[in-house]
Amino acid sequence: MVGALVAAAVFERTMKSIVHREPFHRAEAGDYSFPSGGAMFSAVLLSALFLAAETPRQRRLALWVGAALMLGFGAALVVFGWHYPSDVLAGWCATAALIAAGWLIVHR
């Protein structure tokens, strides 16, 4: 999980420095919105809970509860005007790619 969090943080900062998408609200210089770091870290948490589950029942529970919380958090980021929907989706997709790459590296 620590590796995934570090990879997500590095990826988020790198992409924000490349894309430079201004957020809805007035922000400090260099505070960009694409991809959403909050969405990335919520997806890392869901993935870690899912992968740490030992039984199929625990995995299902982690998946359903975690997905509901992650979707609610992502919706809140958009509704409250912190991010565009594409920021949130990009954060989730980037995290999925990072987790899949890490999983392949560890289980190779």
Query: Greater confidence, 23 or 105?
Result: 105
Mean per-residue pLDDT, 51-65: 86
Structure-block tokens of residue 3: 């590796």
Question: How much of the chain, in percent, has pLDDT values that exceed 70?
Answer: 86
Which pair of structure tokens corresponds to residue 32? 């960009």
Closest to 65 (Cα-Cα) out of 42, 44, 46, 38: 46
Q: Which residues of 46-63 are buried (b: 16+ CB within 10 A; e: fewer)?
A: bbbbbeebeeeeeeeebe
Average pLDDT over residues 68-94: 87
* Domain ranges (residues) in the chain: 2-13+37-106
Say what the pLDDT of residue 14 is: 78
pLDDT at residue number 20: 64
pTM of whole model > 0.75?
no
Q: Give the mean pLDDT of 9-23.
A: 73
Task: Give the Cα separation of 62 and 85 in Å (integer).
Answer: 24
Q: What is the CA radius of gyration of the chain?
A: 15
